[in-house]
Structure formats: C-alpha cells, structure tokens
Amino acid sequence: MSLSISIAWIEGRNLLHLIDEFLELVAGPRTDADPALARLAPVAYPDDGAAAAEFRRSTRDELFDRRRKDALVMREGLIDFDTDDDDLDVLAAHDVGIPAAHVDAWLRTLAAIRLVVASRLGVDHDDRHDPHDARFHVYDWLGYRLDDLIQRADDADAATA
C-alpha cells in the first residue's frame, strides 16, 4: 500500500526548502538556548530536573538522529521538486507517491517542522494566532498538509482492515 498526494510545484519546492532548513537545524549545535530545538526534545520529567537532564542527555542525540533520518526520507520523496526549471507551471499539481513504510517519517517530519515554525512565531496553542497575519500562513499550511496526510493514512488503513 502506498499513499498518493497532490502537491503544486511551488508547494513542493517550498517544502523542500523547509526540510533543508530543518536538516541544518537538527545537524547543528544541540542547545536548549534555541527554543525550537528545546521544543523538538521536550522535557520528559518536568517535576524532576535531575531526571529530566539525564533523560535528555541519554536520548537527545538518538532523537535528533531519527528526526534527521525521517527528514531525509521525506526529502527523497520530494526529489522531483528539486529543480530550477523556470519553464514549469508552479501551480501545476504533481502526484507524489508515499510508500507505506515512509508515511510515519513524513508525519513526524511535518509535525516537527511545524513545531519549529510555531516556536519561531511564539505559537504555543493552535488557537493562539491570528489567521489573518501573513507570518502564520506557513504554519497553517503545514497543519493542512499534516492533517491531509493523516486523513489519507487513516482512510488507507480502514480500506485494508
């Protein structure tokens, strides 16, 4: 089973750009000074600072390595959009097949990128931003893409059950 989603060329290009920036973020220095990185590795034991620090120390690199691998899987699925062909109709839809084995990586990556964008914008709850403020359109678009992929995965699971 695989899923198919339709993405406009401009969306695919922008998504690739976001994935590349995300890959740079998770490959760089892993410090809690960056709220986006802290949000990608939440505190496991909020009431026990020592246990939280130990858990983070022992799991953080593995978590960020998995996030990196997931993003690379998603990037590979969007490789057709990695072109500088100026003759393309950027609004034309392109069907992207996502193998079942890659769906979870796509879901985790979209959610992680959305968390980073939310962190950068100061969004701590979905309903705490102005949908008319253009700075939040990428955040909302990522939510739309994530929701669409979840729905398609649920529909595919129901069809095979």
Give per-residue pLDDT as tens, 31-72.
777 888 888 887 888 888 888 888 888 888 899 999 999 999
Q: What are phi and psi of 28, to 5 degrees?
A: -80, -165
Domain spans, the chain: 2-160
Lowest-confidence pick of 1-10, 99-108, 123-132: 123-132
Pairing of strands 93-99, 2-8: antiparallel
Give per-residue pLDDT as tens, 100-110.
999 999 999 99
Percent of the chain's residues with pLDDT above 90: 49
The CA distance from 134 to 105, in Å, is 28
* Residue bearing the bigger pLDDT, 16 or 131: 16
The CA distance from 109 to 75, in Å, is 10
Q: Is the pLDDT of residue 1 over 70?
A: no
Check residue 132 and give its pLDDT: 79
